[in-house]
Structure 1
Amino acid sequence: MSQVPARREPGEVFGPGFTLFADMLLVGLLTSLASLPVVTAPAAFAAAAATLRRSADDGLPVRFAGYAAHLRARLTPGTLAAGLALPLLVVLVLVDAALVRAGLPGANVVAPALALLTLGAATVGLRATALERLSAREGLLRSAGDPRGSLLLAAAVLLAALIAWSMPLLIPLLPGPLALAATAVELRSTAGRRED
């Protein structure tokens, strides 16, 4: 991974840290737009992670054309099938949550288990989209093999949920920080495996 220059280039208004922030926001907006059909959400997040990884490697700012190229490459029948699973999972969680609120016996045990299961699924999904090739199985293996990275991603998901709840206007930007977190955890995990 190339080092970002610590000093500003001539004519540059903001430093390199702000460039990363702006790239993350742009990727967040592009991912939100690409996820509108819902079935394209896994491909959109995978494209976001690939775009941020390429930007980190090359040291160049994110461009719409680069994101679009990554998105086209990841729109495969497999990612669209994974996208079909998303609405089914959401419906399943909503039905289970409604049953828990109905006061059925065991609701005190089922509610935390449902919350943990949803958080775990989101974490594994983010791990899967940060891989070079989207794979739910590999995402699950990486999540289990790197508990520290998985906890970091779970914290990112919880923070994103809190921001979405408290400031709904920021929801279109949230895929950017989530993709950045997943990419950073994956790059950290990959660097750790190379050192071993």
Structure 2
Amino acid sequence: MSQGRATTQAPATLPPGERRDPGEVFGGGFTLFADMLLVGLLTSLACLPVVTAPAAFAAASATLRGAAHSGVPVRAAGYTGHLRAHLSARSLACGLVPPALAVLLLLDASLLASPLPGARLLAPVLVLLVLGAAVVALRTTALEAPHRLSAREGLLRAAADPRGSLLLAGGALLAGVLAWSIPLLVPLLPGPLAFAATVVDLRFTAHRGSA
């Protein structure tokens, strides 16, 4: 009898991270993983027109931020609502920047293959520029009003929070390696990137608010 009672009382001693709500099979960690997968797929679809990429990532960050505050799992309808709110002439104009940078990088990469002096030294510089641009872009799309999609504010936060920027640079580099080695993962990568940018921005604003 004592063993039976001990067995029935054991689940109450589980740590909070392992507890599950009634009817929840996989627990909160799996819910977060599922949210990132769904946001990643929705963001990839929203990025297909290319110029909508800033609004798509901003909507992903707003959706994940809302899910973190409310505890409600991500829904496609919620993401669509945030996407509509972020679509504007300004966001579409910002969406022209990534294709222009991609063309510029392709031209620079072609010059690296030429026998020009200093071509080998230019390669790591280009990599650093790409990572820096990715960090600023991620921080910009993670901003809330009144700084929504402000490249200036994103650059200021990237410079003021070097630790968070390094984390985002590592995430962007890892995403690039995964996209190159396993192309099938490309539709899922925007979710973790948006999640990382959102967490870094939340940490930065909380630290600045307490200072």
TM-score by length of 1: 0.96
> Runs of 4+ in structure 1 displaced over 4 angstroms?
none
Show CA shifts across 1:30-69 (max 9, x none): 0000000000000000000000000001011000111000
Q: CA deviation at 1:103?
A: 2.6
The amino acid of 2:52's aligned partner reads T
Residue 4 of structure 2: aligned partner: none
Residue 171 of structure 2 aligns to a residue in which SS? helix
Residue 61 of structure 2: aligned partner: 49
Show CA shifts across 1:111-152 (max 9, x none): 111110011001100000000111111100000000000000
Show CA shifts across 1:65-93 (max 9, x none): 11000000000111100001111110001
CA distance in 1, matches of 2:110, 2:120: 13
Q: CA deviation at 1:165?
A: 1.2
CA distance in 1, matches of 2:17, 2:175: 30
Within 5 A, what are the aligned runs for 1:1-196?
7-132=19-144, 133-196=148-211
Q: CA deviation at 1:163?
A: 0.9
CA distance in 2, matches of 1:73, 1:158: 30
CA distance in 2, matches of 1:165, 1:50: 28
Residue identity over aligned pairs, in percent, reads 69
Q: May I ask how many residue pairs the two structures share in their alignment?
A: 193
Q: Superposition RMSD on alpha carbons, in Å?
A: 1.1
Show CA shifts across 1:151-174 (max 9, x none): 000000011011111111000000
Residue 66 of structure 1 aligns to a residue in which SS? helix
The amino acid of 2:186's aligned partner reads I
Structure 2 stretches lacking a partner, 5+ long? 1-15
Structure 1 stretches lacking a partner, 5+ long? none
Q: CA deviation at 1:18?
A: 0.6
CA distance in 2, matches of 1:5, 1:171: 29
Residue 124 of structure 1 aligns to a residue in which SS? helix
Residue 95 of structure 2 aligns to a residue in which SS? helix
TM-score by length of 2: 0.89
The amino acid of 1:115's aligned partner reads V
CA distance in 1, matches of 2:109, 2:135: 19
The amino acid of 1:135's aligned partner reads S
Mark the structure with the bigger radius of gyration: 2
CA distance in 2, matches of 1:140, 1:10: 44
Q: CA deviation at 1:104?
A: 1.3
CA distance in 2, matches of 1:101, 1:32: 32
